[in-house]
């Protein structure tokens, strides 16, 4: 094989492996840069000063150690993975090989560097890490929501009972009744704030990559504001104009990730402890068959030369290590999945406006205005493994309805199997031993139609599939007496 054939073969091999090559003559200092390397590093000239000026600061030490190792004659060194900032400002993840060529006397004469672009692979890996972290967060959020919602349900229920008893009383001997009523109202206000905080975890509690359904953008955006509140409160005042809008088709957890990312970015565009000087405005509206959501900040803004690149993978104006540079890139991908768009307007020193535009789902439910009949006394079977919830429901409903309490699924099945008729079966979805799903599966169609399930927020895969496929009525803990009355009225009207 001739030298020309050998060179052609090497060139072909480099192309197949997608290798970019740089060569430096260690005697004369002359350099050769192949075209593939110029494209990778966005070079306009020869790479005369080597790679070191382009390597991100945190990776320079690794590269220096690598070069020291390959400088030893006969040394076998594994390839090095590092990050390079191109002359255009992009971050590239590359795998690097270097070899020192020696003459017959062992003196170094040439240094060859080969780079393979791993950026696309790194994007996939980084996205998977983000998904894994979100899944872990979701699992934790669901557990926290469940553990808080169960006690919160009977706390709110019992407080409402106390308030309803106190309301008509003119006085109580030796008791400051107005102050007592205020104390109960303040406790209810605090419990309601807790309920709203826990409710904010719901959109993040399940990350099912393939699941798409009707999403309430107003609710998702409000939940995201609640989640980002601690980050925002130190930097800006938050103004919301979150109006009810038609649902869009998408993945709730992913869309929550988009809005949380936009809010965190807005917060980080403003300095700490200057909340009185800055503003974050969050709004929704309906426009031409789309739901429009905007996040506006009065922060530092984005430079014109940077603006076109903010959705590029690994691009970030933050210091290396302060962010993966994938937040906006991933957000753009999520929005595109719904058929929507995300855009930005910004000026240095004048803040930024991010606009998410999502198509309205082709079909959506509109709340009816049919009059609800007067509520009559009903026979209700309540099933829950939390004794305090059973007692709270008994206090809330026993005066106006006939209640039977079952402390677990086995008791409920025994009662239902005895031929007793109920107007409603109010049943906890997730219980040990016999779950609400297992109870429902053993009922007749007529009995199944009477079931309403309570949930504290935790869903197994089977439970989520059951709720989605069977379209069973769900009431989320904690609930109020008015929520239960609404359920009973709808049950009565069927």
Domains and CATH numbers, the chain: 3-117 (3.30.450.20), 211-366 (3.30.565.10), 379-493 (3.40.50.2300)
Please tell me the distance from the alpha carbon of residue 427 to that of residue 301, in angstroms, as a whole number.
52
Split at pLDDT 50, 70, 90, the class of 18 is low
**Mean pLDDT, all residues of the chain:** 80
Confidence of residue 322 (pLDDT cuts 50, 70, 90): very low
Block residue for tokens 């393979």: 116
At residue 251, the pLDDT reads 84
Top pLDDT among 301 and 26 is at: 301
Here the tokens at position 50 are 């080597």
Q: Are 401 and 380 in contact (CB under 8 A)?
A: yes
**What pLDDT digit, counting tens, does each position of 72-93 carry?**
655 667 888 888 888 777 778 8
- Is the omega angle on the peptide bond into residue 361 within 30 degrees of 0, that is, cis? no
Residues of the chain above pLDDT 70, percent: 79
Q: What is the pLDDT of residues 470-493, one digit of tens each?
A: 888 888 888 777 777 777 777 666
pLDDT on residue 438: 93
pLDDT at 106 over 60: yes
Res. 186: pLDDT tops 80? yes
pLDDT digits (tens, 9 = 90+) for 396-423: 888 889 999 999 999 999 999 888 889 9
Place of tokens 């300095």: 271
Query: Percentage of the chain surpassing pLDDT 90?
Result: 24
DSSP string, 272-294: TT-GGG-EEEEEEEEETTEEEEE
> Which pLDDT belongs to residue 316?
64
End-to-end CA distance of the chain: 88
Most confident of 10-19, 242-251, 301-310: 242-251
How far apart are alpha carbons 68 and 63 in whole angstroms?
9
Q: Say which residue, 350 or 375, is predicted with more confidence.
A: 350
- Taking 90 as the threshold, does the pLDDT of residue 110 lie above it? no
| Whether the predicted pLDDT of 342 surpasses 90 | yes
- What is the tens place of the pLDDT at every residue in 48-65? 677 888 888 878 888 888
| φ, ψ at 238 (rounded to 5°) | -110, 125
């Amino acid at each position: 094989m001739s030298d020309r054939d050998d060179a052609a073969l090497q060139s072909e091999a480099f192309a197949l492996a997608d290798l970019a090559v740089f060569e430096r003559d260690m005697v004369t200092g002359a350099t050769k840069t192949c075209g593939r390397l110029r494209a990778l590093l966005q070079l306009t000239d020869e790479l005369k000063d080597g790679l070191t000026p382009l390597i991100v600061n945190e990776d320079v030490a690794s590269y220096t150690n690598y070069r020291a190792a390959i400088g030893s004659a006969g040394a076998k060194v594994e390839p090095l993975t590092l990050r390079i900032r191109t002359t255009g400002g992009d971050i590239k993840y590359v795998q690097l090989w270097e070899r020192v060529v020696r003459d017959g006397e062992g003196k170094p004469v040439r240094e060859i560097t080969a780079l393979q672009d791993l950026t696309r692979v790194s994007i996939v890996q980084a996205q998977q890490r983000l998904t894994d972290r979100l899944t872990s967060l979701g699992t934790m959020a669901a557990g926290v929501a469940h553990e808080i919602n169960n006690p919160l349900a009977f706390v709110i229920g019992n407080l409402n009972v106390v308030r309803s008893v106190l309301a008509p009383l003119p006085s109580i001997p030796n008791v400051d009744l107005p102050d007592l009523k205020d104390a109960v109202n303040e406790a209810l206000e605090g419990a309601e704030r807790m309920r709203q905080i826990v409710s904010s975890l719901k959109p993040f509690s399940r990350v099912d990559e393939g699941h798409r359904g009707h999403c309430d953008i107003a609710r998702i955006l409000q939940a995201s504001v609640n989640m980002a509140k601690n980050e925002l409160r130190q930097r800006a005042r938050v103004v919301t104009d979150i109006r009810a809008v038609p649902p869009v088709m998408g993945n709730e957890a992913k869309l929550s990730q988009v809005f949380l990312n936009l809010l965190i970015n807005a917060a980080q565009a403003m300095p700490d402890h200057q909340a009185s000087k800055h503003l974050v405005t969050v709004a929704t509206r309906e426009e031409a068959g789309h739901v429009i959501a905007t996040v506006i900040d009065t922060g530092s803004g984005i430079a014109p030369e940077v603006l076109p690149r903010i959705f590029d993978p690994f691009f970030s104006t933050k210091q290396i290590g302060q962010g993966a540079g994938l937040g906006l890139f991933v957000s753009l991908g999520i929005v595109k999945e719904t058929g929507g768009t995300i855009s930005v307007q910004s000026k240095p020193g004048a803040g930024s406006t991010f606009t998410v535009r999502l198509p309205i789902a082709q079909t959506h439910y509109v709340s009816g205005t049919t009059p609800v009949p007067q509520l009559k006394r009903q026979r209700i079977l309540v099933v829950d493994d939390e004794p305090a919830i059973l007692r709270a429901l008994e206090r809330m409903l026993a005066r106006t309805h006939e209640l039977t309490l079952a402390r677990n699924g086995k008791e409920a099945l025994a009662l239902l199997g005895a031929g007793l008729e109920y107007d409603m079966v109010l049943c906890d979805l997730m219980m040990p031993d016999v779950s609400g799903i297992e109870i429902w599966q053993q009922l007749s169609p007529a009995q199944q139609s009477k079931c309403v399930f309570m949930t504290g927020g935790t869903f197994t895969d089977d439970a989520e599939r059951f709720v989605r496929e069977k379209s069973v009525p769900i009431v989320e803990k904690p609930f109020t007496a008015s929520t239960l009355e609404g359920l009973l009225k709808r049950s009565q009207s069927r």
